[in-house]
Amino acid sequence: MRDLKAGTVMVKPVVSAREDTLARDVALQLLSGHYTGMPVTDAEGKVVGVVSEFDLLEAVFADRNLAQTKIGHLMSKNAITADVNTPISAILTIMKEQNIIRLPITEGGKLVGIVARHDILRSQIDPALFVL
């Protein structure tokens, strides 16, 4: 496992949102894709934040209309990312220290994939054991 890099384990293409995407549309994507969050990118593909179910729930609790609220107003800014060449051991350390589930993966500063905790675990299990 120590030789694995983010680029080997990451899921791609990755579902992401733009800052001007309506929160309702992101909520629908999370629900239909069974995700709990996603990166938010600018027009050039640079990660500018992440949005999670909690961000959306906080907005609902604050009586914000998801059909009128842009995700850029709800997202957590200064997202933590990792490069495609980052060792999985370093990604696990980041996830543990920052208490995060998924880490956007970049190459040349642009979003190219995502690594979630279950992706790392899956990489350690014999694929023949999966029944999809």
Domains of the chain: 6-125 (3.10.580.10)
Average pLDDT over residues 30-50: 93
Average pLDDT over residues 73-80: 93
Phi, psi for residue 103 in degrees, rounded to 5: -130, 120
Dist. CA 58–CA 76, nearest whole Å: 12
DSSP run (H or E) holding 128: none
Question: Quick check: 103 and 88 in contact, CB under 8 A?
Answer: no
State mean pLDDT over 45-62.
96
Instruction: Report the 10 Å Cβ neighbour count for 15.
Output: 13
H-run or E-run covering 38: strand 37-41
Please tell me the chain's helix, strand, coil percentages from 3-state DSSP, rounded to the nearest 5.
Answer: 35, 25, 35
pLDDT number for residue 35:
84
| CA dist., res. 81 & res. 95, Å (int) | 10
Would you state the pLDDT for residue 1? 56
Cα–Cα distance for residue pair 118/120, rounded to 1 Å? 5
Predicted local confidence at residue 2, as pLDDT: 62
> What's the one-letter identity of residue 77?
K
pLDDT exceeds cutoff 80 at 109: yes
Mean pLDDT of the chain: 91
